[in-house]
Chain A
Amino acid sequence: MSVSSNFGFADGETINGQTREITYIAAISEALREEMRRNPDVLLMGEDIAGDFGGAFKVTKGFEAEFGARRVINTPIAELGFVGVATGMALMGLRPVVEMQFADFITSAFDSIVQFAATTHYRWKGRVPWVIRAPADGGIRSGPFHSQNPEAWFVHTPGLKVVAPATPADAKGLLIAAIRDDNPVIYFESKPLYRSLKGFVPAGEYVVPLGRANVARTGADLSIITYGAMVHQALAAAQRLANEGIDAEVLDLRSLKPLDKEAILATARKTGKVLVTHAANKLAGVGAEVAALIAEQAFEWLDAPVQRIGGLDVPVPFSPPLEDAYRPDAEKLYAAARALAAY
Chain B
Amino acid sequence: MEKNDLTNDQRLELYYWMLLTRVFDETMVTMWKQGRGVGGTFSQRGHEAISVGAAFALTPDDVIAPMHRDLGAYLLRGITPQRIFGNLLGRANGVTGGRDANLHGMGDMTLNVIGFISHLPHSLPVALGAAMSFVHRGEPHVALTFTGDGASSAGLFHETLNMAAVWNAPFILIVENNQYAYSTPLHQQMKSPEIATRAAAYGIPGVTVDGNDVEAVYAIVQEAVKRARSGEGPTLIEAKTMRMLGHAIHDGAEYVPRELLAEWELRDPVKRYRERLLEAGVADETEMAEIAQRVEVEIADAVAFAEASPLPDPATVTQGVYAGE
Contact = CB atoms under 8 A, between A and B. Distances in A.
Interface in A206-245: none
Interface string B117-129: 1010010111111
Contacts of B115: 120, 123-124, 126
A91 B130 contact: yes
A4 interface: no
A122 B320 contact: yes
Given A92-B130, A124-B115, A111 B122 contact: yes
B163 A94 contact: no
B122 A92 contact: no
B114 interface: yes
Contacts of B106: 124
Contacts of A129: 323
A76 B119 contact: no
A88 B320 CA distance: 19
Contacts of A73: 132, 167
Interface residues of B, number: 42
B160 interface: yes
A126 B160 contact: no
A270 interface: no
A122 B114 contact: no
Contacts of B135: 70
Chain A contact patch, size range: 35 or more
B141 to A, nearest CB: 10
Interface string B284-325: 000000000000000000000000000000000000111110
A91 B109 contact: yes
A85 interface: yes
Contacts of B130: 88-89, 91-92
Interface stretch (B43-51, B95-103, B191-199, B253-261): B95-103
B324 A182 contact: yes
B133 A93 contact: yes
Contacts of B128: 81, 84-85, 88
A75 interface: yes
Contacts of A75: 163
Contacts of A126: 107, 109, 114-115
Interface in B107-156: 107-109, 114-115, 117, 119, 122, 124-133, 135-136, 143, 155-156
A83 B324 CA distance: 22
Q: Which of B95, B96, B104, B129 has most A Cβ within 10 Å? A: B129
B129 A123 contact: no
Contacts of A78: 159, 162-163
B322 A159 contact: yes
Nearest to B167: A73
B100 A115 contact: no
A81 B136 contact: no
B317 to A, nearest CB: 10
A168 to B, nearest CB: 27
B99 to A, nearest CB: 5
A92 B321 CA distance: 19
A115 B119 contact: yes
A76 B99 contact: no
A305 interface: no
A127 interface: yes
A148 interface: no
Contact of B117 (A86, A116, A161, A182): A116
Contact of B156 (A43, A81, A91, A121): A81
A80 interface: yes
A182 B323 contact: yes
Q: Which of B122, B126, B156, B167 has most A Cβ within 10 Å? A: B126
Interface string A142-181: 0000000000000000110100000000000000000001
A84 B125 contact: yes
A90 interface: yes
Nearest to A83: B125
Contacts of B170: none
Q: Which of A96, A122, A127 has most B Cβ within 10 Å? A: A122
Given A84-B160, A91-B114, A92-B133, A183 B322 contact: yes
A123 B105 contact: yes
B201 interface: no
A123 B312 CA distance: 13
B129 A111 contact: no
A110 to B, nearest CB: 11
A112 B117 CA distance: 10
A262 B10 CA distance: 62
B126 to A, nearest CB: 4
A119 interface: yes
B31 interface: no
A141 interface: no
A76 B162 contact: yes
Contacts of A161: 322
A116 B322 contact: no
Contacts of B63: 92
Contacts of B107: 91, 120, 123-124, 126
Given A182-B323, A182-B324, A116 B99 contact: no
A121 B126 CA distance: 15
B96 A127 contact: no
A334 interface: no
A18 B131 CA distance: 41
Interface in B60-115: 63, 95-96, 99-100, 104-109, 114-115
Q: Which 5 A-B pairs have the closest CB atoms?
A: A88-B129, A84-B125, A81-B159, A92-B133, A123-B105
Interface of B: 63, 95-96, 99-100, 104-109, 114-115, 117, 119, 122, 124-133, 135-136, 143, 155-156, 159-160, 162-163, 166-167, 320-324
16 contacts: A71-B136, A83-B125, A85-B125, A87-B126, A88-B132, A91-B114, A91-B126, A92-B109, A92-B129, A123-B96, A123-B105, A124-B106, A126-B109, A126-B114, A129-B323, A183-B324
